[in-house]
Structures are given as C-alpha cells and as structure tokens.
Amino acid sequence: MEADNAKIFELLGKDQFAKNSNMRLIEAGLGSAIAEMEIDQRHLNGLGSVQGGVLFTLADFVCAAASNSQGKVAVSLDASISFVKAISKGKLTAVASEIYLRRTVAAYKVEIRNEENDLIAVFQSTSYRKEPKQ
C-alpha cells in the first residue's frame, strides 16, 4: 500500500491553526512525514523562546500526516512531548515516523530539530485508526 500524498496534503491543508502558525507539510510517505516552520515573534513566550504549545502543535501536525497515510482516518488517543532545548529564531523541522501499526491502533514518534540539527523536542503519540465508512 502506498500513501495517497494528494489526500494527505489536502487534509493537512485544511488545518487553519497550523497554517496561521506558519507550519507547512513538506513530505508525506507511508507512516512518515516532514513539516517545517519559520519562527517569528508570534511563536515566542514571555521569556523570548518558542512557546511549548507551538512545538506541540508542529509535532501534532506532522504526526497527523504520518498517521493518516495508511488509508484509514486516524485520530490521536494520547500525546506527550519532552522539551529538550530552547530556541528563539530560525527554522524548525519536524520528522514523524511510525513506531508500530496495528488494525486499530498505531504509534508515532516526532523529533523536532533546528537548522543546526540540534534536538529541540521529542513527541510521541498513539492514534486510533477508524474503519472507513461504507
């Protein structure tokens, strides 16, 4: 089975929050995806570093692309993130990869890195895979 990239890009293109946060899907494959965002002032918290919710949203966004690449609608059951390094400027790249895939449940890991390839955050999520409606 191959990922239907057009459907994935169409689905994620409807994500207004991600779009308004300057996030874009770069690549989508079977159980994997890559997204990027350029940091600007709206992403910074009171201390001048990227707000944790922004990093979570970027990871969730790219995870949605990876989890919906398997031919079933997938929704998150849970998610967690570990913040590794603060950042306040530049471009972030989020890479999602599938950890396991079962009939109704799948798990994903996302690594967010900066332009110097420093690890910024690690995200993990479990998705529920819905059967298509007949």
Q: pTM for the whole thing?
A: 0.92
Tell me the pairing of strands 91-101 and 105-113: antiparallel
pLDDT mean over 82-90 = 97
pLDDT mean over 35-63 = 96
Report the distance separating Cα 38 and Cα 29, nearest Å.
22
pLDDT grade, residue 96 (50/70/90)? very high
Percent of the chain with pLDDT over 70: 95
Q: Reply yes or no on whether the pLDDT at 115 is more than 60.
A: yes
Beta-carbon contacts of 38 under 8 Å, excluding residues fewer than 6 positions away, are 22, 90, 91
Beta-carbon count within 10 A of 82 CB: 9
pLDDT mean over 42-48 = 96
CATH number at residue 41: 3.10.129.10
Write out the residue range of the structural domain in which residue 103 sits.
5-130
Q: Report the chain's mean pLDDT, rounded to a whole number.
A: 92
Domain count, the chain: 1
Question: Residue 60: what pLDDT?
Answer: 96
